[in-house]
């Protein structure tokens, strides 16, 4: 339990703000008291970004593999040898190419057990596409690499947690993509994650409707009656405290979400717009349902401010500490399952 947590960090698009928020986070040496960070990128690219955000006190310890990582230092693994032309604020093939090389190497180490968690800086979902990366985003790529049957895009903060049934798909395809089975699968993943990753013993989960006013009893669509309500009822039969469906607009406007431990939205923008409005600075994207821990900040590449020293590192720092906390919670749950008496002593000592 005392082993220092190694957190791998992929740099995202080299032309975006990823390295800026990484550098600003690691420039605070207090971070090293909680984890050993390992950045997957290249020192020359990092130096370019370090100069643009006017940080001189941070020096990367260059290592060839994760086993060489040193505590109390920001470690860097060079994932390529060639020089890279940086075009800050420009979406181009270069940004996608090196974002993938960083992500691929970090994921390889994660799956091999060389690091304990992965924090991903933002990618451009368009320019990263290739024969090796044919996915809508990080979540789908990591689910495939983990051979997981399902996963949950789970946006979390201190005040709000929101998951989505459908992720990066066109809105026009959402009604056909939701089903009783899919909603139930997401509810099971959310419930398990809340218990195992966030230590909420009996989570209460709100489920949103698909249509305006949650369908108004079939007046504005029937997905609530035919799909969502049966899924909620089946979830409750499986000992999951699910409630709803709720009309999304009033649910957030009246702060009803504060009565629940998490919210399951039907599609991307239904969940992410209110989440980012309420918790943008502190929000974290967590992928639930995987065998490993992965988080990311809840913002994108922000090309418009790249290189201007304007990006806030708050969300990235929250993503880093969320990863650390989830790893600790999973370790402690493992101790609990193996030796309840030892866990009781551990909890007492920690308190």
Confidence of residue 56 (pLDDT cuts 50, 70, 90): confident
The residue length of the chain stands at 351
C-beta of residue 146 within 8 angstroms of C-beta of residue 111:
yes
CA distance 125 to 134: 10
Place of tokens 């035919």: 226
Nearest to 205 by CA among 218, 192, 215, 191: 191
CA distance 311 to 165: 30
pTM of the model: 0.91
The number of folded domains in the chain is 2
| Phi, psi for residue 129 in degrees, rounded to 5 | -65, 135
Instruction: Look at residue 333 and tell me if it is in a domain.
Output: no
Determine the structural domain holding residue 230 and report its residue range: 150-283
Residues 2 and 130 in one domain: yes
Residues 232 and 305 in one domain: no
| CATH number of the domain residue 270 falls in | 3.40.718.10
25 contact partners, CB below 8 Å, separation of at least 6:
31, 313, 316, 317, 320
Instruction: Look at residue 346 and tell me if it is in a domain.
Output: no
pLDDT, tens digit, for every residue of 91-124?
Answer: 999 999 999 999 999 999 999 999 999 999 999 9
CB atoms within 10 A of CB 275: 26
Whole-number pLDDT of residue 222: 93
Residues 43 and 26 in one domain: yes
- What single-letter DSSP state applies at residue 227? I
pLDDT at residue 49 is higher than 60: yes
Residues 126 and 137 in one domain: yes
CA distance 131 to 150: 22
Residues 134 and 11 in one domain: yes
C-beta of residue 14 within 8 angstroms of C-beta of residue 46:
no
Nearest to 163 by CA among 268, 43, 280, 86: 268
Residues 51 and 168 in one domain: no
What is the bridge-based pairing of β-strands 74-78 and 161-164?
unpaired
Residues 167 and 42 in one domain: no
pLDDT, tens digit, for every residue of 159-210?
Answer: 999 999 999 899 999 999 999 999 999 999 999 999 999 999 999 999 999 9
Read off the tokens for 351. Answer: 């308190």
């Amino acid at each position: 339990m005392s082993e220092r947590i190694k957190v791998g960090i992929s740099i995202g698009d080299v032309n975006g703000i990823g390295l800026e928020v990484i550098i600003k986070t690691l420039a605070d040496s207090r971070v090293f008291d909680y984890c050993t960070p390992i950045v997957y990128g290249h020192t020359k690219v990092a130096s370019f970004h370090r100069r643009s955000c006017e940080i001189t006190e941070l020096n990367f310890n260059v290592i060839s593999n994760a086993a060489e990582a040193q505590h109390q230092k920001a470690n860097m693994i060079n994932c390529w040898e060639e020089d890279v032309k940086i075009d800050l604020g420009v979406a181009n093939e270069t940004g996608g190419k090196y974002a993938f090389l960083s992500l691929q190497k970090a994921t390889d180490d994660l799956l091999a057990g060389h690091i304990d968690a992965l924090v991903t800086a933002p990618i451009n979902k368009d320019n990263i596409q290739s024969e090796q990366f044919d996915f809508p985003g990080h979540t789908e790529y990591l689910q495939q690499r983990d051979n997981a049957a399902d996963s949950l895009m789970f946006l979390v903060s201190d005040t709000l947690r929101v998951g989505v049934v459908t992720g990066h798909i066109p809105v026009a395809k959402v009604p056909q993509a939701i089903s009783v089975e899919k909603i139930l699968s997401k509810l099971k993943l959310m419930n398990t994650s809340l218990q195992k990753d966030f230590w909420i013993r009996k989570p209460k989960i709100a489920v949103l409707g698909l249509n305006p006013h949650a369908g108004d009893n079939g007046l504005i669509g029937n997905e609530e009656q035919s799909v969502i309500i049966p899924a909620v009822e089946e979830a409750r039969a499986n000992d999951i405290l699910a409630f709803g469906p709720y009309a999304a607009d009033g649910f957030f406007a009246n702060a009803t979400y504060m009565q629940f431990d998490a919210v399951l939205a039907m599609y991307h923008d239904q969940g992410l717009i209110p989440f980012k409005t309420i918790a943008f600075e502190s929000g974290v994207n967590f992928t639930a349902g995987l065998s490993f821990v992965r988080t990311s900040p809840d913002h994108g590449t922000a090309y418009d401010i790249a290189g201007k020293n304007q990006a806030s590192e708050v969300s990235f720092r929250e993503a880093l500490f969320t990863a650390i906390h989830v790893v600790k919670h999973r370790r402690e749950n493992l101790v609990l399952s193996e030796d309840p008496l030892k866990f009781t002593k551990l909890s007492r000592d920690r308190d």
